[in-house]
Structure 1
Amino acid sequence: MNRVAIVTGASAGIGAATSRLLHERGFHVYAVARRLDKMTQLAALGIRTVRADVTAEADLTALVDQVVTESGRIDVLVNNAGYGSFGALEDVPLDEARRQFDVNVFGAARLCQLVLPHLRAQNSGRIINVSSVGARMYQPLGGWYHATKYALEGLSDCLRVELRPLGIDVVLIQPGGIDTEFPRVAGERLLAASGEGPYAGYARRYAASLTSEARGISAPAVVARAIGRAATVRRPRARYAVGRGARAALLARWLLPDRVYDRVLVGLFTAIADAAARGAKTSS
């Protein structure tokens, strides 16, 4: 009998790569995203694609009902849906902050609530939450995004010990620099929120650093392989830090006092932004 997996945020990047990998490893995969037209390549492989918004209660309830009705079980839930909305705290509207929490935290939590009765009945299962190294570090102008990742990690840690006696594993994936739409979307939202006004100079430099960081980073398949291990090994680790700079960032955060880390962080992003600006002048 094929194991059954639900993967959210499957229209591109990490979610799409994870859906393909789990399918190749024999899982019956339900790939979930808001737009079905973005998942036609997954559907062509035989992966079941489902339209659902993780912030919509009716969509999530229908999704879990569909999976259980069609497949009879759920073995793995990969909570991958999420996005980064950057900007100065003073500039970002609270409605946007709430939406980011709805997508990055409450959507994942609600799916956990909906699948857990089925995992408990089986006395087995895996919940794999895709977090970020941003859950253990921080960046300027990223307060709301990092707050969601800190929250997801705290929720996952509590859930891991809560569910262990029931035979259910909870795993955190902590990607570093990954070649997805994240840097572009985060940079665009940063400029939209803080590209004008008192934070404009800082915002423009940091947006340039996000664009520059997107070069030479790890492929989504690197994260997908970590998720594949977490889904299949007998005893998964609590956390998998993967992708460019992930382990180095976590080590630096652990070793350095806060004030020292602050100076290193600002200096690093200033250097990246300056290099990006010099590259732009050279190419022009």
Structure 2
Amino acid sequence: MTAKICLITGASSGIGHATALELVRAGHTVYGAARRVRQVPGGHALAMDVTNPADVEHAVRTVLDEQGRIDVLVNNAGIGLYGAVEDVPLDQARHLFEVNLFGVAHLTRLVLPHMRERGSGSIVNVSSIAGEIALPLGGWYHASKHALEALTDSLRQEVKAFGVNVVLIQPGLIKTEFEQDIREISGRGAYRDLAQAMAERAESSTGGSDPAVVATAIRKVVESAHPRPRHPVGHLARTVLWLNRLLPDRAFDNLVTKR
């Protein structure tokens, strides 16, 4: 196996942290980018906020100056936002899209020309099963991941002729720091009963895969010459996606809103 030059965003915790460790252990050269740069494991740490164009451009320039190429880009950085569509402030919704969609797009646009010139490379976008399904009080988050999935599909079709792989990772329930009390925004107004019910379901649920499960899937994508376009991975990922595809809309709605 040829060692790859990898750039990973959101590498200070959760899936990004686990992926950086997994790829370093496998012998790849890893640049882990994050706002909390001291927590990036192994490899080379880069301070980067994906919503700051100067940070993103500096990170890409640093890797290219030091290594001459970027073989793999893992767009993992992301944030959550939970509350009723009516309740979530639009400035928070816009920031969510800046991180989960436009940050990915900007970094990809900077890396892609170098991959095209070399005729090889892999872009791995970490989405979620939230990119296919929709749950109450997660409308803005789901919308950002639906948009990321559409962008990923179009990009995959566009760059296939240049030898660049574009792959979507769809984690299910994962144990990460990516937590927010669903009652924070909608726990007192018109949607308080729904928020309380959803919060209680989340708090009583068991399971959730370790981020290392996702990291292993990403490593296999990185090391594959012809990876599958989509990789559902982790607790309940395949089950929930199967139910969403199988059930009529109203049946799925009833399933996810029952109390």
1:127 equivalent to 2:110? Answer no
Q: Residue 185 of structure 2: which of 182, 187, 193 is its match? A: 193
Q: Which letter does structure 2 place at the counterpart of 1:201? A: D
1:204 equivalent to 2:189? Answer no
Q: Residue 219 of structure 2: which of 228, 236, 244 is its match? A: 228
Distance (Å, rounded) in 1 between the aligned partners of 2:165 and 2:72 = 10
Distance (Å, rounded) in 1 between the aligned partners of 2:195 and 2:177 = 19
SS in 2 for 1:21: helix
In structure 2, stretches of 5+ residues that fail to align are none
In structure 1, stretches of 5+ residues that fail to align are 271-284
Matched length: 258
How far is 1:212 from its partner?
2.9
Bigger helix fraction: 1
User: For residues 147-188 of structure 1, what are the alpha-carbon distances to aligned partners after superposition, in whole Å with 9 as ceiling and x for unaligned?
Assistant: 001000000000001000000000000000111122x32x2x
Which residue does the alignment assign to 1:273? none
Which residue does the alignment assign to 1:72? 68
Q: Residue 249 of structure 1: which of 237, 240, 247 is its match? A: 240
1:85 equivalent to 2:57? Answer no
Which residue does the alignment assign to 1:35? 36
Which residue does the alignment assign to 1:239? 230
SS in 2 for 1:128: strand
| 1:1-284 pair list within 5 angstroms | 2-39=3-40, 42=41, 45=42, 47-182=43-178, 184-185=179-180, 187=181, 190-213=182-205, 215-267=206-258, 270=259
SS in 1 for 2:256: helix
How far is 1:16 from its partner?
0.4
* TM-score (ref. length: structure 1): 0.88
How far is 1:204 from its partner?
1.9
How far is 1:90 from its partner?
1.1
User: For residues 1-34 of structure 1, what are the alpha-carbon distances to aligned partners after superposition, in whole Å with 9 as ceiling and x for unaligned?
Assistant: 7420011111111000000111111111000111
Distance (Å, rounded) in 1 between the aligned partners of 2:190 and 2:212 = 39
User: For residues 179-225 of structure 1, what are the alpha-carbon distances to aligned partners after superposition, in whole Å with 9 as ceiling and x for unaligned?
Assistant: 1122x32x2xx322111111112112212222333x32111010001
Distance (Å, rounded) in 2 between the aligned partners of 1:252 and 1:208 = 22
How far is 1:99 from its partner?
0.5
Q: Which letter does structure 2 place at the counterpart of 1:26? A: G
Distance (Å, rounded) in 1 between the aligned partners of 2:184 and 2:239 = 31
How far is 1:117 from its partner?
1.1
Q: Which letter does structure 1 place at the counterpart of 2:171? A: P
SS in 1 for 2:50: coil
User: For residues 92-112 of structure 1, what are the alpha-carbon distances to aligned partners after superposition, in whole Å with 9 as ceiling and x for unaligned?
Assistant: 000000000000010001110
SS in 1 for 2:31: strand
Moved over 3 A (4+): none
Distance (Å, rounded) in 1 between the aligned partners of 2:202 and 2:97 = 22
Distance (Å, rounded) in 2 between the aligned partners of 1:96 and 1:210 = 23
User: For residues 133-160 of structure 1, what are the alpha-carbon distances to aligned partners after superposition, in whole Å with 9 as ceiling and x for unaligned?
Assistant: 1111111110000000100000000000
Distance (Å, rounded) in 1 between the aligned partners of 2:51 and 2:119 = 28
How far is 1:123 from its partner?
0.6
* TM-score (ref. length: structure 2): 0.97
